Structures are given as C-alpha cells and as structure tokens.
Homo-oligomer: A and B are copies of this chain.
C-alpha cells in the first residue's frame, strides 16, 4: 500500500519529503475550474452536484499531485442545512437570510447535506481510479464561532462586530447557537469520515476577531467539544484546527482543543510556534500573496518555512486560500521547490 505522507505527518512522524496541499487549491486560479463553472452556473449548484464537486476537487491533483485533496464545498452549507437561507451573490460573497435561532433544526441537516457525502464518496473513488494513491482526502467544516459570525451578520464583515456585540449582549442565545453548531458540525464531519474522508480540517477563519475572553468561550470550548465527539466516533481520523489570526493564543488552542494538527496563518513565526505546541503537527504558512507575486520573494519565503520546520512533523500549505489571480506558473515553481526538498 502506498504511504500517504499527509497521514504520516499527522501521526507525528517524520516524512522523507514534506507533504503539501494548498488551501483553496480547487478554485478560480485554474482555467479548468473557470471553464466548468461557466457551464454549471452558481457556486452552490456545484457544491451540491457530486459529479461537479468531485471533478473540481481532482483538478488540482491532476496538475500538481498534492498530498491532500480537499473536498470542494463551503463552510456555510451548515447554516443552510439548519434552515437559514443562503445565496452567493456574484462579486459580493455570501448573503444569509434572517437568523432565527429557535427555528434551526439540527435533526434535518443531512437532507441538505447528503450530496456532499456523495461527493466525498466519489472523490475517494476518483483518487483511487486515477492512481493518486498517495493523496489523502480531506473533509472540512467551519468552526462554530466562524460560522456563527456569518449567521448573525448575514454576510461577511471586516470585524464581525455585530456578531461580537450579540455574543456579549445575549450570551445565552449565542451559546444556544454555538451548541447547535457543535452538534451539526460534529455530525456533518462524522458523515464525511463515513463517506471516505481520511483527515478533517476545522476552519476557524475569524479566530482573530474574537476578544481574549471570547477566544476561550466561543472558540476553544466549542472546538474542544467537536473534537471530543469526533475522536469518540473515529479515533484514527486526524483533525487539523486552523485558527486564523489566533496569534499568541495558538499554544492554548493547540493544547486545549485536542486537535492533532494546527494550521498557521502567514504572520506566525515558524521558529516560534515550533517550540510552543508540543506533540502537534504543524501546517502552513506561505503567504498566498507571495505566491501571487512569485519570483525571489516566493522562493525565499518557501525555503525559509521549510528550513524553520525541519525536524518537526510538518505539512506545507499556505497561510490562507490561493488568490484567484495567481499564475499557474507560480504554483508550479512552488511545487518544484517542495518536491526537491527533503524534510
């Protein structure tokens, strides 16, 4: 059986080569993605179309052979499955309907989410059929705080201030929302595992928007709960937590939540974090805009990360999703560096 480096690194083992994948690797920087999208229509239509989602997930693997293939989906399918209206407006991002916490129905989510589980099954078969035996399939969900931010605000925001004010002013209602999201998210990720996901990543994209007290109440506590539920059900499936912007709170997040791996944003110092999260596998953290720029800055940064992480279980990734204007040639140059470098 082919060894999957991503899984090995997440078991805390040294690997002969640093495994790599890139957040948002299946996306608009790829001409084949743009072509499919032009045919298929809306973003959510593709998310709920298993054949399309499978095809999109495999596209970057065919080009670059990453060690991880991440399910093509979106963190906001959970609010939609719970009964909150969701649409993606071109050029404006997600728009959610009015939030009624008491009306959210956690028992009915799989009716909406079944096509996603079907996508996972098809991707797993697709990877096998196309000979990508070294590529692990990554399932994912948004963490409760990040998803709740969108649910309260109804859209993206530069600071999610209304969500934060709501969490402060109505702590019981907000806790109820977080509890619902914990249950839904654990069930959703569990089903992804049953459908074939080999690794899970929990995206806490707005970790940096919480305040210090909120980081414990809104981020660490719910994530810990989800991880515990998943570990009870699927003890062998590794979980990566990615608390973007967590800064100096990364060590407490790593220690308290029980995740196996920690995703790092681009600001985080690899050298610093290495000594701060004993027993965890690290993942990150090239700035996607250094990848967009390419050239010497890209090479210098990629090599500095590899060098700093030498000797620790590590997965190379970006610190945030690939920018849609990133030239393919820059991704190729990065992959070349990664393939020629021993860990």
Shortest Cβ distance from A294 into B: residue: B169
Interface residues on A, range: 35 or more
Pick from B208, B286, B301: contact of A245, CB below 8 A: B208
Report whether A289 and B213 are in contact in the complex, using a CB–CB cutoff of 8 Å.
no
Query: Which residues of the other chain, B, contact A267 by a CB distance below 8 angstroms?
Result: 208, 210-212, 215, 245-247, 249
Task: Choose from B171, B269, B288 the contact partner of A212 (Cβ within 8 Å).
Answer: B269
> Across the interface, which residues of B come within 8 angstroms of A273, CB to CB?
248
A320 contact set on B, CB distance < 8 A: 159
Stoichiometry, copies per complex: 2
Q: Which residue of B lies closest to A161 (CB)?
A: B289
Query: Hey, which chain B residues are within 8 Å of A169, CB to CB?
Result: 293-295, 297
Contact of A301 among B213, B288, B304 (CB under 8 A): B213
- Across the interface, A168 reaches (CB within 8 A) one of B269, B285, B297, B319, namely B297
A212 to B287, alpha carbons, bound, how many Å?
9
- A158 CB, min distance to chain B CBs, angstroms: 6
Within 8 Å CB of A215, what residues of B?
267
- Whether the pair B285, A212 counts as a contact (CB closer than 8 A) is yes
Q: Is A270 an interface residue (CB 8 A)?
A: yes
Question: Of all chain B residues, which has the CB nearest A163?
Answer: B289
- Contact status B248-A161, CB under 8 Å: no
Q: What is the minimal beta-carbon distance from A118 to any residue of chain B, in angstroms? A: 33
Shortest distance from the beta carbon of A289 to any chain B beta carbon, whole Å: 4
Docked pose: A285 CA to B161 CA in angstroms: 15
- Nearest B residue to A250, CB-CB: B248
Known: A168-B297, A213-B304, A289-B164. A248 touches B266 (CB 8 A): no
State the CA gap A213–B300 with chains docked (Å): 10
Q: Which B residues are CB-close (under 8 A) to A255? A: none
Contact: B248 with A272, CB < 8 Å? yes
The answer to whether A168 and B290 have CB atoms under 8 Å apart is: yes
CB distance from A222 to the nearest CB of B (A): 17
* A49 close to B (CB within 8 Å): no
Within the complex, the shortest CB–CB distance from A269 to chain B, in Å, comes to 5
| Beta-carbon contacts under 8 Å, A183-214 to B | 208, 210-214
Interchain nearest-CB distance for A156 vs B (Å):
8
Interfacial chain B residues near A294, Cβ < 8 Å: 169
A319-B165 contact, Cβ under 8 Å, with A171-B297, A248-B268, A269-B248: no
Min CB gap A273→B, angstroms: 7
What CA separation (Å) do A267 and B252 show in the bound complex?
A: 13
Can you report 10 A-B residue pairs in the complex whose CB atoms are below 8 A from each other? A161-B288, A164-B289, A165-B289, A168-B297, A208-B245, A208-B267, A210-B267, A246-B267, A248-B248, A248-B250
Known: A165-B289, A165-B290, A169-B294. 18 other contacts (CB 8 A): A159-B289, A161-B289, A165-B293, A165-B323, A168-B290, A168-B292, A168-B295, A171-B297, A208-B267, A212-B266, A212-B269, A212-B270, A212-B285, A245-B245, A245-B247, A246-B247, A247-B249, A248-B248
